[in-house]
Amino acid sequence: MGIKQVKVDVNEVTIGMFVSGLDRPWTQTPFPLQGFYIREAEEIRQLKAHCRHVYIDVAKGAGPVGARLKTITSEPQRKGARPSRSSKVKIDVSPLKIRRDVYKNETPLKKEVKHARELHQAVFKSIGEVMQQLGSGEAVPVQETKRVASQMVDSVLRNPDAFT
């Protein structure tokens, strides 16, 4: 998989770029996911309000105008050979906006932490089963995975700090 990361001043960020890093921790911005495509001008305004520069991945999104970049790949490509299916993975992820004080702690932290620990074990077990079934070519139990994911969301809504 090629890695092409470039440091860009926030004033040069444009729609279509994939932001893969910031000049500060992600937790200090309204973008909780590490890495997202710029889809609208509001996202650029948010970046300008919080950062001086960002890192963009030009293998996943648009690059800065006029940049001359060298491709870095983990495996050499033969002339005329098609890249393997796994050589480029495009994930369409839009950033989440953090809205402070929207969810109140419905459950005390100590009580929810106990539930969250049990849930963490269930999530870990469910992921292990999915990986095992993927490896053996069996059908994946999507319903169980959805159920556990839904319980995880419910736990975070009851007390956002407990599951972390």
Q: Are 156 and 150 within 8 A, CB to CB?
A: no
According to the model, what pLDDT value does residue 69 have?
40
According to the model, what pLDDT value does residue 71 have?
38
Residues 19-65 pLDDT 10s: 988 998 888 888 767 788 888 888 889 899 999 999 988 777 776 65
According to the model, what pLDDT value does residue 100 have?
63
92, 115, 141, 143, 156 from 39: Cα distances, Å: 11, 37, 33, 32, 27
Instruction: For residue 70, give both structure tokens.
Output: 């060298």
Tell me the pLDDT of the chain (164 aa) as tens digits. 455 788 889 998 888 888 988 998 888 888 767 788 888 888 889 899 999 999 988 777 776 654 434 333 444 445 555 555 445 555 555 556 666 666 666 788 888 888 888 888 888 888 888 888 888 888 876 778 788 888 888 888 888 778 77
Q: Which residues contact 18 (CB under 8 A, 6 or more apart)?
A: 35, 36, 37, 38, 56, 57, 58, 60, 61, 62
According to the model, what pLDDT value does residue 91 have?
54
Classify residue 132 by burial, with Cβ atoms within 10 Å: 0-12, 13-18, 19+.
exposed
According to the model, what pLDDT value does residue 53 have?
93
Instruction: For residue 46, give both structure tokens.
Output: 């948010």
Q: In whole angstroms, what is the distance from residue 67 CA to residue 6 CA? A: 9
Residue 55 DSSP symbol:
E
Q: Are 43 and 95 within 8 A, CB to CB?
A: yes
